[in-house]
Chain A
Amino acid sequence: MRKLLFQSLFRQPLTEQAPRPDDAALAELAAMVGHTARRRLGRSLSIREVDAGSCNGCELEIHALSNAYYDVERFGIRFVASPRHADVLLVTGPVTKNMRDALERTYHATPDPKWVVAAGDCAKDGGCFAGSYAVVGGVSAVVPVDLHIPGCPPSPMAILRGLVALLETVDTGVAAR
């Protein structure tokens, strides 16, 4: 273990660098998130993830946000275990009828001000599961949604971009619910 830790000290970080001339996208993101998050949310954004019936694809990419390449915590964004600690609910999946109740209760357990981000095509309108007897539809059919992030599943970079867009909305004064 010592050897591995020692190597890590001297190895170049894997994290997508900001700024890097050949790939400005993530560098831009880093700057934007850092700036807007600090102004309104005091340097941090706590996210509670809720799977309202997804296939688990979106969860895998949300997990990837925490790996060394995306390292979401450097932006002050972190995932929390309870809705009571959260600023944002990040909801995936078509909302199934069996999960409707749990999603509503999670929403009401989240303190104001709060924002809801619906991640993935299913979360927008039910995706290819729309119309099923067991599916309510998109997330907005159950709780108010501030932002949709498209994709099946959205890539980690797309999710990061979405969170930036949310922070901009927050910054321009749209009231949270």
Chain B
Amino acid sequence: MATLIDLIRAGHEVERHRPWPRAVVDAKVWRSAAGALADGGLSLLGLWGEPSCVHMAVLDNGTSAIGVLSLDCPDHQFPSVAAHHPPALRLERTIHDLLGLVPTGTPDPRPWLDHGRWQMRFPLGERLDASTDAAPYRFLPAEGDGLHQIAVGPVHAGIIEPGHFRFTASGETVVRLEQRLGYTHKGVEGLMAGSAVEQAARLAGRISGDSTVAYALAFAQAVEAAQRIAVPPRALLLRALMAELERLANHLGDIGAICNDASFALMQAHCAVLRESVLRAADAAFGHRMMRDLVVPGGLARDIAGDGSSAIRAALDQIRRHFPALIELYDNTASLQDRTVTTGVVTPALARQFAAGGYVGRASGRNHDARRMPGYLPYDGLRFEVPVLSDGDVNARVWIRIREVGQSLGLADQILAGLEAGPVRVSLQAATESCEGMALVEGFRGDILAWLRLSGDRIERCHLRDPSWFQWPLLEAAIEANIVADFPLCNKSFNCSYSGQDL
């Protein structure tokens, strides 16, 4: 089995790519990497393109090494990875939609983000004019007696993001779910290309609104890696504090919302109050409820307010006081457990194959947390556990969140206790030669990959991969053989990002 180090050595390593290596490889090495993904030696972290090359970020499951393999494709095609490893499929369809590079041997050549509405094709590659008369999208077939289809979206009944779900059901039982996404595609990578670092950082913080801190952090860490900038210790701690507050707020919101989708509104009412207390504390401490535009390359846009620590401590205390009774309520309500236990199961094998991050992966036995592996500052100096369960059902995904609330409370305490005075920002250098940086950051939903190339003080190319890319397909698998009425429950337990995936 090919290890990542062998694959990197078989290619030509690129200079000034940090912190992990990137190598330009030939088609043979590219194919053997696809084979190693298929047999489980490697996990796929990302797959993206430029006008005439493709990049694959992988994690070696044996050695925990991370690296990027690049393949030049002067004839605008590359060997399909998805032909061997299905998790690459939507990413490959996206590469074709945005750049016009053809994955040869792909099992599914349908477009993904391109709905035929952009008046052009291949917006990030060699653009072609296109009419807006889109051909109807061909959904995958399901055959059998008495099957019927239910089409949902893109405008949903709740206050949520747009996407289309096509269910094929036999009576009440779902036989097949197929997602069609891309409705919120805003062309973020196109807007970032050529923009100043500050502008790109603002865009990064607006890729998925619920993960604005995590995205800004991933982007900032990638810039800092490229330029080899050391961020002041106080800024590192405050960044982690914001990241944990974001995780707390989202997990609390999710736990309530999942129960609400099982028609148990009491949990929602109480969890929403705790979530609001976190947002208000964030507002008091950092001047914005969602802490947007605060994490910037080089550190923080501003320091925590003078009374910020006490506001946050008060919110943490409130959660500590009230949350245990809610956990007990969740655990002791039979009608609620009846809905969540054994519903929407993701098998450990699938979670491993798709390298699913966050609570989706950890509820199905995949022990991965970017704060631990590869790990980044300041988490090496903080104590926390990474909860892992193996049931893979809605209940397990709720429990991972419950346990992570406890861990984030502990982390926030440690950070507040360890804060020392000091600067919170260093200035960026105007790089003379182009350099590349990469980062893997744990958002509440899972690991966010950021990769970019800097040229002077401009972003030449930036790619951000949302954790949802490897979670959405698992939702299709999880709902199979469940009843249609349990879909909102399953969907909320995943809480995948539309905007982060559509980009």
* Chain A residues in the interface with B (C-beta under 8 A): 1, 3-5, 14, 49-64, 66-69, 79, 81-83, 93-94, 96-102, 106, 127-129, 131-135, 152-153, 155
Contact = CB atoms under 8 A, between A and B. Distances in A.
A53 B487 CA distance: 23
B96 interface: no
Contact of B208 (A5, A52, A55, A69): A55
Nearest to B153: A102
B123 interface: yes
Interface string B37-60: 000000000000000000000000
B307 to A, nearest CB: 17
B209 A67 contact: no
B333 A1 contact: yes
B273 interface: yes
A102 B209 contact: no
A99 B159 contact: no
Contacts of A5: 266
17 contacts: A1-B333, A55-B207, A55-B208, A55-B209, A57-B209, A58-B209, A60-B210, A63-B272, A68-B273, A81-B157, A98-B184, A128-B203, A129-B188, A131-B191, A135-B187, A152-B206, A153-B209
Contact of B206 (A3, A55, A61, A131): A55
Nearest to B154: A102
A54 B276 contact: no
B63 interface: no
Interface string B119-132: 11001000000000
Contacts of A153: 209, 290
A1 B273 CA distance: 17
B162 interface: yes
Given A67-B273, A67-B276, A69-B276, 18 more contacts: A4-B270, A5-B266, A49-B159, A51-B159, A51-B184, A56-B161, A59-B161, A63-B272, A64-B272, A67-B275, A96-B183, A98-B115, A99-B162, A102-B154, A132-B186, A133-B123, A133-B190, A135-B186
Contacts of A101: 117
A83 B155 CA distance: 10
Contacts of A63: 159, 253, 272
B199 interface: yes
B352 interface: no
A4 B329 contact: yes
A79 B158 CA distance: 8
A62 B120 contact: no
Interface residues of B, number: 53
B228 interface: no
B353 interface: no
A14 B274 CA distance: 11
A98 B182 contact: yes
Contacts of B113: 98
A15 B115 CA distance: 44
Nearest to A66: B272
Interface of B: 113, 115, 117-120, 123, 154-155, 157-162, 182-188, 190-191, 199, 202-203, 206-210, 212, 253, 266, 269-270, 272-273, 275-276, 279, 289-290, 292, 325-326, 329, 332-333, 497-499
Given A56-B161, A98-B117, A133 B325 contact: no
Given A49-B159, A55-B209, A57-B209, A96 B273 contact: no
Contacts of A55: 206-209, 212, 499
Contacts of B159: 49, 51, 59, 62-63, 79
A157 to B, nearest CB: 10
B273 A56 contact: no
Contacts of B326: 4
B288 to A, nearest CB: 9
Contacts of A1: 266, 329, 332-333
A82 B190 CA distance: 34
Contacts of A68: 269, 272-273, 276
A49 B185 CA distance: 19
Given A1-B266, A51-B162, A128-B203, A97 B209 contact: no
Nearest to A121: B206
Contacts of B273: 14, 67-69
B202 A128 contact: yes
B161 A132 contact: no
B206 A57 contact: yes
A134 B185 contact: yes
B289 A129 contact: no
B210 to A, nearest CB: 6
A152 B185 CA distance: 19
Nearest to B185: A134
A106 B188 contact: no
Contacts of A60: 209-210, 253, 290
A4 B259 CA distance: 16
Contacts of B203: 128-129
A102 B183 contact: yes
B209 A59 contact: yes
Nearest to A103: B155
Contacts of A66: 272
B187 A134 contact: yes
